[in-house]
Amino acid sequence: MESTVLTAPSITASGEAIRDNVSLVLGELGNTAAQVSTEQLHQAAKLLARADRVFVAGAGRSGLVLRMAAMRLMHLGLNVHVAGDTTTPAIRKGDLLLVASGSGSTSGVVKAAETAAGANARVAAFTANPGSPLAGLADVVVVLPAQQKTDHGSGVSRQYSGSLFEQVLFVVTEAVFQSLWASADVPAEQLWLRHANLE
């Protein structure tokens, strides 16, 4: 069997190229985030505010973004768990599973949503594919109109793979946190008391 060896290309980045790509990223991010339905985000925020406990599940970079969202929701005082951590309890009725997958077909994320739905928990899903299996399992779907990670050359984004989806996911989850925090009318100093002190 013949194997293919990939070698690293010779790479460099000029200051001008970096400046241009900062503009590219910010432009695509702003344009795409502006297309996200505020009503869908409002519905997801309502589920967050009403949940007994919040669980987050995502793979790869989307999963990392949801971990950041979980940290902020914990700062707000919500009872938050990251799926897969050794101390994460069983999900149950009254809980919310927050999931993200650009394709909406990431197997582990879909399985988590199936488990949550089977336990009568609610599911809020962020995806670029509203016709996906993940969207079909969700109580609330927030569509992020970015390319999926294997959607190369579609013209939706000039960035690599799922970068735009992950960037928009970060921005909208931050906006949801910011809105929930504003409605709680709690000073930043109080949130800071919950910040990790075992670092």
Q: Residues with catalytic annotation?
A: 166
Residue entry with tokens 């987050």:
56
Residue 144 CA to residue 44 CA, distance in Å, equals: 13
Report the candidate in 55, 66, 124 with the shortest Cα–Cα distance to residue 92. Answer: 55
Contact 143, 168 (CB under 8 A): no
Q: Going by DSSP bridges, is the β-strand pair 96-100/80-82 parallel, antiparallel, or unpaired?
A: unpaired
Q: What angle do CA 55, 58, 61 make, to 5 degrees?
A: 135
